[in-house]
Amino acid sequence: GAVVSQHPSWVICKSGTSVKIECRSLDFQATTMFWYRQFPKQSLMLMATSNEGSKATYEQGVEKDKFLINHASLTLSTLTVTSAHPEDSSFYICSARIQSAYYGYTFGSGTRLTVV
């Protein structure tokens, strides 16, 4: 149980275009989801916390106008990379908090974004 599905698994887009990445909780409701990005040979960096029905909370240094997050339902959060540039090429990973007795966190399989 507690599976998070992320789509697409990889995407290639042209500079200047926007790309949307979806994160779905398949068998549970996720009021809170998280978005990370990871550059090659580096650790995961938390970008933002996505809360259902309210605005996302962005980490320091992350441009909220460039990385648009929408969490309109209890099972879906989306990350849109607007006006993508080659430096936005990265591995984007979502996570959902499982509201059980101990608050676990489950991760999606990630999206490889390449901007050309």
Rg (CA), the chain: 13
Task: Select the residue interacting with other proteins from 7, 20, 66, 97 (CB under 8 A).
Answer: 97
Task: Select the residue interacting with other proteins from 45, 62, 68, 76 (CB under 8 A).
Answer: 45
Q: Is 105 in the site for other proteins (CB under 8 A)?
A: yes
Q: Which is nearer to other proteins, 88 or 108 (CB)?
A: 108
Give the integer Cα–Cα distance in Å for 24 and 60: 25
Q: Say which residues have a Cβ less than 8 Å from residue 43's Cβ, sequence separation at least 6.
A: none
Task: Select the residue interacting with other proteins from 32, 50, 77, 78 (CB under 8 A).
Answer: 32
